[in-house]
DNA sequence: ATGTTTTTTTAGGCTTGGCTAAAAATATTT
DNA sequence: AAATATTTTTAGCCAAGCCTAAAAAAACAT
């Protein structure tokens, strides 16, 4: 089993997420560069190397997509990231907006035994603190029929099950308005003008959420 | 607070241990190279760089010793290493011979908040699974009046409190002869010929330990 | 279809942290 | 005090991963 450098792993994970969210299409050089915060030229460099290692398909000017093997490795990295985030929140008491950067480091520790024991220690969690599913050893993960809050109609009730983007600033905003995973909502009103919504949060106040917020919140309908 | 690379941190830690065990004398290029498994030339290179950063005193041909600042950083790295080892044994159920290599990776994760919370989660342990003291945030650590088992006279009783070298092979040997931290011993016989000792282990069998074993076991005398 | 803009690649360079081989300095024998 | 052996440094090289600037390709507009 080949050992990858942290940089290589990060490229795989980035391509994994880009292609996943964009329905299987190849990830563009610029998109990868934007996510990783590197120059596009550096990305081209790395794509050649990872392609030579058989981890991704790459043809000049038409972006990259993962091979079977690349996908396995990327999925496993996602598994490690989400397990560490879960550990940091559940065991060390971090808040959900503080764990991403630390997990970015911890995910690169190489030891399958460690990951396995961590998983067991956490009672094999299915979702991370942001509601994202944690792949198992074989790469399988729970899927949930979640929709964006913005997709609900007036009157519908739902429970918050995840966030689309988990930057600290968004998570801190959610904390401020007392929204966490599991929060029960009902849509009271929807404004076509700017896509904002007035929402009742069970046991809390009513809030008007901007379109951006509504699109970043994943919910599951309830009756 | 400067951020060091894993390589830089490892050099500091190595020099820390070499100078500590050798009573404050400078660490030689070759000794450092031997511990790190690198070529001597690479060490010379790094010593120049770390010296330029003010982390160690280095003069050509006369080895290296840590500055105040270098010592602080090295001590903090040792703290992280030993806390992670403790975590792996106490929380994840690893055996004491399996944790060193993983801790070598975990120790480089940069987050003082993480270390602080880990310390609290473990109930601020004073010693790691090998009996080595864990420095606190300020670098202070418990010291114990421990002696090598080889220093005991026939008839004396003692309790095992640590090991000098904690390579897996030695720890596995100890497991085989059912010695762990806290084991109560009594010296039955000592052979001048090869420095070996016959020892009674409370509740277990009697064993004859080689000089090498006796020098690598730290004990505290009891009556 | 041609020109313009955007994206991607190439070319050349830099730092880190390694290496080997040869030279120089230090230590040990004789 | 030489001669020899050991240790350390220098010199020159390399790969990974980044960079900027320029060239080339692709996409978009007119
Ligand atoms: Mn994350
Ligand atoms: Mn997450
Ligand atoms: Mn260790
Ligand atoms: Mn230890």
Distance, in Å, from the CA atom of A182 to the CA atom of A130, rounded to the nearest integer, reads: 11
Q: What is the DSSP string of A124-171?
A: --SB-TTSPBPP-TTS-------EEGGGPPTT-EEEEEEES---HHHH
Crossing angle, helix B6-21 and helix B29-36, to 10 degrees? 120
| Closest residue by C-alpha to C1' distance, nucleotide D17 | A42
Interface test with A, best of B97, B104, B106, B109 (most A CBs within 10 A): B109
Domain-embedded: residue A99: no
Instruction: State how far residue A59 is from chain B, nearest Cα, in angstroms.
Output: 34
Neighbours of A213 (CB within 10 A): 22
A27: DSSP letter: B
- Of B139, B136, B22, give the one whose Cα is nearest residue B69: B139
pLDDT value of residue A24: 73
Domain-embedded: residue B44: yes
Domain count across chain B: 2
Q: Assess A112–B contact: CB distance below 8 Å, yes or no.
A: no
Domain-embedded: residue A102: no
Overall average pLDDT of the B162-191 stretch: 92
Overall average pLDDT of the B45-73 stretch: 97
Domain-embedded: residue B88: no
Instruction: State how far residue B22 is from chain A, nearest Cα, in angstroms.
Output: 32
What phi, psi does A219 have (nearest 5°)? -135, 165
Which chain A residues are Cβ-neighbours of B123 within 8 angstroms?
none
Give residue-wise pLDDT tens across range B87-139.
Answer: 999 999 999 999 999 999 999 999 999 999 999 999 999 999 999 999 999 99
Task: Using the 3D structure, point to which of B66, B85, B101 is the last residue of a domain.
Answer: B66
What length is written for chain A?
Answer: 223
Please write down the long-range contacts of A204-209, taking CB distance under 8 Å and 24 or more positions apart: A204/A177, A204/A178, A205/A177, A205/A178, A207/A177, A209/A149
Domain-embedded: residue A96: no
Which chain B residues are Cβ-neighbours of A94 within 8 angstroms?
113, 117
Residue B220 backbone zone (phi > 0: left; psi -120 to 50: alpha; other: beta): beta
What residues of chain A score a pLDDT lower than 70? 1
Task: Using the 3D structure, point to which of B19, B45, B66 is the last residue of a domain.
Answer: B66
- Tokens, residue B176: 């085989």
Query: Ligand 2 centre and the CA of A85: distance in Å?
Result: 6
Distance, in Å, from the CA atom of B12 to the CA atom of B31, rounded to the nearest integer, reads: 13
Q: How confident is the model at residue B44 (pLDDT cuts 50, 70, 90)?
A: very high
By residue range, what is the domain housing residue A55? 6-66
Instruction: Report whether pLDDT(B54) > 80.
Output: yes
Give residue-wise pLDDT tens across range B68-88.
Answer: 999 999 999 999 999 999 999
Domain-embedded: residue A137: no
Q: Assess B122–A contact: CB distance below 8 Å, yes or no.
A: no
pLDDT value of residue B51: 97
Query: Ligand 1 centre and the CA of A166: distance in Å?
Result: 7
Distance, in Å, from the CA atom of A74 to the CA atom of A66, rounded to the nearest integer, reads: 9
Beta-bridged to residue B208, according to DSSP, are B198
pLDDT value of residue B194: 87
- Of B91, B158, B161, give the one whose Cα is nearest residue B131: B161
- Of A172, A170, A181, A179, give the one whose Cα is nearest residue A131: A181
Query: Ligand 2 centre and the CA of B152: distance in Å?
Result: 55
Task: Using the 3D structure, point to which of A66, A93, A114 is the last residue of a domain.
Answer: A66
User: Chain C: nucleotides under 7 Å from a protein CB?
Assistant: 7-12, 16-22, 25-26
- Of B19, A93, A111, give the one whose Cα is nearest residue A102: A93
pLDDT value of residue A223: 85
Domain-embedded: residue B201: yes
Of A91, A105, A117, the CB nearest to B109: A105
Q: What is the pTM of this model?
A: 0.93
Average pLDDT for chain B? 94
Rg from Cα positions in chain B: 19
Give residue-wise pLDDT tens across range A117-149.
Answer: 999 999 999 999 999 999 999 999 998 889 999
Q: How confident is the model at residue B1 (pLDDT cuts 50, 70, 90)?
A: low
Distance, in Å, from the CA atom of A76 to the CA atom of A139, rounded to the nearest integer, reads: 7
Instruction: Report whether pLDDT(B67) > 80.
Output: yes
How many CB pairs lie under 8 A apart between chains A and B? 43
Domain-embedded: residue A50: yes
Q: CA-to-C1' distance for A42 and C3, Å?
A: 30
What chain A residue is nearest to B102 in terms of C-alpha separation?
A111
CATH at B175 = 2.30.30.90
**Look-up of token digits 């795989």:** A12
CATH at A51 = 1.10.10.10
């Amino acid at each position: 089993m080949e050992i990858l450098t942290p940089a290589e792993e990060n490229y795989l994970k980035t391509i994994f997420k880009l292609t996943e969210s964009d329905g299987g299409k190849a990830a563009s050089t610029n998109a990868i560069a934007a996510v990783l915060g590197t120059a596009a030229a550096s990305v081209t460099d790395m794509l050649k190397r990872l392609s030579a290692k058989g981890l991704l398909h790459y043809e000049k000017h038409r972006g990259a997509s993962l091979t079977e093997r690349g996908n396995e490795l990327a999925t496993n990295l996602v598994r490690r990231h989400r397990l560490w985030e879960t550990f940091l929140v559940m065991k060390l008491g971090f808040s959900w907006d503080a764990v991403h950067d630390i997990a970015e480091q911890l995910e690169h520790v190489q030891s399958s035994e460690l990951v396995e024991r961590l998983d067991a220690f956490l009672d094999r969690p299915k979702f991370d603190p942001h509601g994202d599913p944690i792949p198992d050893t074989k790469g399988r993960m729970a899927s949930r029929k979640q929709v964006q809050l913005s997709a609900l109609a007036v009157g519908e009730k739902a429970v918050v099950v995840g966030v689309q983007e988990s930057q600290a600033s968004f998570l801190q905003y959610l904390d401020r308005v007392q929204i966490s995973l599991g929060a029960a909502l009902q849509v009271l009103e929807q404004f076509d003008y700017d896509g904002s919504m007035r929402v009742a949060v069970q046991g809390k106040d009513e809030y008007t959420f901007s379109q951006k917020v509504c699109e970043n919140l994943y919910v599951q309908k309830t009756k």
